[in-house]
Amino acid sequence: MNDSSSTARQTTLRTVMRAVWDQGPISRAELARATGLSKQTMSEVVRELEEGAWLRETGRTQGNVGRSAVNYEINARRTFVFGVDLGGTKIRAALADMAGSIVNETVETTDPRGGMHVIDQIAKLSTTLAEGAGVDTRTIRVGVVGIPGAFNPRTKRLIMVPNIADFEQLAFEEELGARVGFQIVAGNDVNMAAKGEQWLGEGRSSDSFVFVALGTGIGMGIINERKIVRGARGAAGEVSTLPIGADPYDARTFKSGALESAIGSAAICARYECLGGQPNLSVRDIFDRVVQEDPIAIATIDEVARTLAQSVLAVAAVLDPEKIIFGGSVGARAELVDRVVHHLARCMPDPVDCTISRLGSRAGLFGTIATALERLREILFEVPTLALDGTPASEVEHRP
C-alpha cells in the first residue's frame, strides 16, 4: 500500500473510531450512515479496529423484520491515561481507561527533598499503579500533572512553586516524560481542579465559571467558554497577589501576595489571636468555635469573608463568570461561604452565584484525568503516528 493510500486508510479508521467514541454503542449500519462510508468499507474498517482491540461488541439492537444488528463500543481498556495532583505534602495519582473510569488510585507523601526526587517518585507511581491494575505500562499514552505553581507554556519551565524544593525552572515535562516513556503535560493544580469541576462537579452545566481554592494559600482556576484560561506565562488566576486585604507595596506581602497574606490559613489564625482569641488554635479549631457561637471566631470569619467577597467582586468585574465554586480546606467551609454571599449582596447589584465543591480533595485529580483524556483524543484523531489498523495490541509501538 503506497503512502497516500495508507494515510487515507488511517483517516478512515480514525473517522469511524471517533464516531464510535462519540455515539456508541452503535451498529455498522448506523456508522455507515453517520460517516458516509459504504457498508462494505464499514465492515472492513470495523474488522480492522476489532483486530487492533480498539472496538468490541456490546450487545445487539433489534432491526427491521426481526433482524438484529451487532453494536460496537470503544474498548476502554485498549489504552490508559495517568493523572497526578501534586501537592507540597501529598501526591494523589490515578490510572484511568479511555472511558475515564479510574482503575487504580493512590495517595502518598510528597518526597520532601523535592526536585528530581519528586519526578522520580511520580514516575515510580505510574509503574506501581499499572502493575496493581494489571495494566501493561506500554499502553499508557498520556500523563497530566497538576502542580502547585505555574507552568510557562513558552519556556516549558515551572515558576512560582514555593512549596516544593528545587522545582522552579525544571524542564518538568521533558524530565518526567523521559522516565515514563509517554507524553507528559504539566499544568497549574487549581486549573486542574477547575477542569475536574467542569467534568464531574459543579461546573458541568456552566460555560464560564471560576474555581477558588482557599487553604494555606489562595488560587483560582478560570474556565471561560468551556476552556481553561492560562495566560501568557501560565499564571492566570494567581489571585493571591490581588491588592486586596493588605498593602501590595509592603515588602512583607511580596512572597505570598497581598490577598493571601490577609486571608490564608496563617492570616486567619493571626487575626483570631489579635482580636483576643485563644492562641495557637488551628483554622479548623476556629471554625469549630464559629459553630459553638464564639463571638471572636464569628468576627474573624466574617472579616475574612468580607475580604474574600471584595476579591470575588474584582474577579466578577473582569471575567463575568456564571458562578464561583469554592474549594480547599478553608474555602469549602459553609460558615465562610454563607458570609461571602451575605457580603456580596452588599457590594454587587446582581451577585454572582456561589457554591461549594462536592468533589473535595479529588477535584484536582479528576481534572488531570479529564485533561489527559482530551489530549489522548487529540493524539488518536489528529496525530498520524499511532496505527489504528489490525496490528495486535501487544505489538503496537507506544510512542510519546
Asked whether the predicted pLDDT for residue 395 surpasses 60, the reply is no
pLDDT at 228: 94
Domain annotation covers residue 213: yes
Q: Which three cell numbers stand for residue 208?
A: 464560564
Give, in order, the Cα–Cα distances in Å from 390 to each of 37, 44, 46, 69. Answer: 19, 10, 10, 23
Residue 393 pLDDT level (bands cut at 50, 70, 90): very low
If we measure between CA atoms, which residue out of 325, 285, 323 comes closest to residue 301? Answer: 285
127 Cβ contact list (under 8 Å, min separation 6): 137
CA dihedral 366, 368, 371, 376 (to 10 degrees): -110
Among residues 56, 74, 92, the one where a domain terminates is: 74
CB-based burial of residue 74 (10 Å sphere; 0-12 exposed, 13-18 middle, 19+ buried)?
Answer: buried
Residues 123 and 62 in one domain: no
Residues 282 and 331 in one domain: yes
pLDDT at 389: 47
Domain annotation covers residue 210: yes
Residues 70 and 109 in one domain: no
Residues 175 and 318 in one domain: no
pLDDT at 254: 84
| Count of domains for the chain | 3
* Average pLDDT score over the chain: 90
Residue 319 pLDDT level (bands cut at 50, 70, 90): very high
> What percent of the chain has pLDDT above 90?
68
381 Cβ contact list (under 8 Å, min separation 6): 14, 17, 18
229 Cβ contact list (under 8 Å, min separation 6): 222, 223, 236, 237
The residues facing 94 across adjacent strands are 83, 105
Lowest mean pLDDT among 129-143, 147-161, 221-235, 240-254: 147-161
Rounded Cα gap, residues 192 and 237, in angstroms: 12
Q: How far is CA 136 from its chain centroid? A: 24
Rounded Cα gap, residues 180 and 138, in angstroms: 9
Residues 376 and 390 in one domain: yes
Give, in order, the Cα–Cα distances in Å from 396 to each of 180, 364, 375, 390. Answer: 17, 31, 19, 10
- Write out the residue range of the structural domain in which residue 60 sits: 3-74
Asked whether the predicted pLDDT for residue 392 surpasses 70, the reply is no
Residue 315 pLDDT level (bands cut at 50, 70, 90): very high
Residues 186 and 268 in one domain: no
Provide the greatest CA pair distance for the chain.
82
If we measure between CA atoms, which residue out of 196, 152, 237 comes closest to residue 372? Answer: 196
Q: Hey, which of 5-9, 108-112, 160-164 has the most confident mean pLDDT?
A: 108-112
If we measure between CA atoms, which residue out of 52, 54, 229, 76 comes closest to residue 150? Answer: 229
Asked whether the predicted pLDDT for residue 383 surpasses 60, the reply is no
Residues 265 and 388 in one domain: no
Residues 107 and 224 in one domain: no
CB-based burial of residue 62 (10 Å sphere; 0-12 exposed, 13-18 middle, 19+ buried)?
Answer: exposed
Residue 156 pLDDT level (bands cut at 50, 70, 90): confident
Q: How many CA atoms lie within 13 A of 45 on its CB side?
A: 26
User: Are 105 and 113 a contacting pair, CB within 8 Å?
Assistant: no
Q: pLDDT tens across 37-66, in order?
A: 888 888 888 999 988 899 998 877 655 555
The secondary structure of 246-280 as a DSSP string is: S-TTSGGGTTT-HHHHHHSHHHHHHHHHHTTPPTT
Asked whether the predicted pLDDT for residue 269 surpasses 70, the reply is yes
Termini Cα distance of the chain: 26
Domain annotation covers residue 198: no
Q: Which residue has the higher pLDDT, 125 or 62?
A: 125
Arithmetic mean of pLDDT, 288-311 = 97
Rounded Cα gap, residues 131 and 317, in angstroms: 49
Residue 227 pLDDT level (bands cut at 50, 70, 90): very high
User: Are 123 and 93 a contacting pair, CB within 8 Å?
Assistant: no
Asked whether the predicted pLDDT for residue 157 surpasses 60, the reply is yes
Domain annotation covers residue 377: yes
Residues 225 and 368 in one domain: no
If we measure between CA atoms, which residue out of 24, 56, 14 comes closest to residue 393? Answer: 56
CB-based burial of residue 234 (10 Å sphere; 0-12 exposed, 13-18 middle, 19+ buried)?
Answer: buried
Asked whether the predicted pLDDT for residue 390 surpasses 50, the reply is no
Domain annotation covers residue 400: no
Radius of gyration of the chain (CA): 25
User: Peptide bond before 243: cis, by omega within 30 degrees of 0?
Assistant: no
Lowest mean pLDDT among 20-34, 201-215, 322-336, 362-376: 20-34
DSSP state of 170: -
Q: Which three cell numbers stand for residue 389?
A: 489498523
Residues 48 and 154 in one domain: no
pTM: 0.88
pLDDT at 64: 56
User: Are 39 and 27 a contacting pair, CB within 8 Å?
Assistant: no
CATH assignment of the domain containing 93: 3.30.420.40
pLDDT at 213: 96
